[in-house]
Amino acid sequence: MNLFLVAVAPVFVIILYIYFKDKYEKEPKHLLVYNFILGAIVSIIITSILYYVFDFVLPLPNKTSVFQQFLKAFFVVGLIEEFSKYVIIRYYSQTKNAFNEPFDGIVYAVMVSMGFAATENIFYVLEGGYQTALLRAFTAVPAHATFGVLMGYFMGKAKFAKNRIILNLFGLFLAIVFHGTYDFFLFIDFIPGIWVGAFLSLFVGIMLSRKAIKKHQENSLFKT
């Protein structure tokens, strides 16, 4: 039970952070919970199915091949995991009447992402213990949050724009790029010191996420 709580603690810290950043018009709590659950269950199911398909169609067995690890990071892990979140935001969250300003894109995308991160983190922490929990609390979990913010920023704009398809897909694309970059540097850890690139990409993602949050706050339709 202690490991379980340690695994989910950073997830809920980030959820509370985003919840309080939504200053002007809070989202219905039941929708936040639904999005979290969909991310925790449906996104994981979609990811598992697509992983199985990709492993069958495009096996990448060579862990010391930079090219194969590049394909794995961007076109398998990054694409599949972010797509599994995207479909929920696009076809569930974005259709709700409560999604009534661009900032809501960030809120719902982070909720879905944190649902996904919670399930993923529980499996990793139960297997790896407290050391894994501490490491992932400052790396993988906030990374999923930044991917969610970057995707949600553009999906929030998309709902109220004429070029909705382009903005939605650009949000997905940006999340895949940052997710793929983060994982790529971790996957090629057989190159000494290359893992630093993952932390640099995470830092850039966090900085961009803060700017995205601030920009949507400043342009809130409910700001008085």
Write out the residue range of the structural domain in which residue 24 sits. Answer: 2-218
In-domain check, residue 224: no
Residue 150 clears pLDDT 80, i.e. is over it: yes
**What pLDDT does 1 receive?**
64
**What pLDDT does 223 receive?**
81
In-domain check, residue 95: yes
Q: How many domains does the chain have?
A: 1
**What pLDDT does 221 receive?**
84
Per-residue pLDDT tens over the stretch 69-97: 999 999 999 999 999 999 999 999 999 99
- What is the tally of helices (H) and strands (E) in the chain? 9, 0
In-domain check, residue 122: yes
Per-residue pLDDT tens over the stretch 17-52: 999 999 999 999 999 999 999 999 999 999 999 999
Better-predicted residue by pLDDT, 222 or 169:
169
How much is the average pLDDT of 85-114?
Answer: 97
In-domain check, residue 84: yes
In-domain check, residue 223: no
DSSP annotation of 95: G
Specify whether the CB–CB gap between 155 and 90 falls below 8 A.
Answer: yes
How much is the average pLDDT of 127-131?
Answer: 94
In-domain check, residue 12: yes
State how far the Cα of 175 lies from the Cα of 171, in Å rounded to an integer: 6
In-domain check, residue 179: yes
What is the full DSSP assignment across the chain? -HHHHHHHHHHHHHHHHHHHH--SSPPPHHHHHHHHHHHHHHHHHHHHHHHHHHHHHS----TT-HHHHHHIIIIIIIHHHHHHHHHHHHHTGGGSTT--STHHHHHHHHHHHHHHHHHHHHHHHHHH-HHHHHHHHTTHHHHHHHHHHHHHHHHHHHTTSS-HHHHHHHHHHHHHHHHHHHHHHHHTTTSTTTTHHHHHHHHHHHHHHHHHHHHHHHT-TT--
In-domain check, residue 160: yes
The beta-strand segments (E) located in 97-202 are: none
State how far the Cα of 115 lies from the Cα of 54, in Å rounded to an integer: 23
How much is the average pLDDT of 109-118?
Answer: 98
State the chain's mean pLDDT as an integer.
96
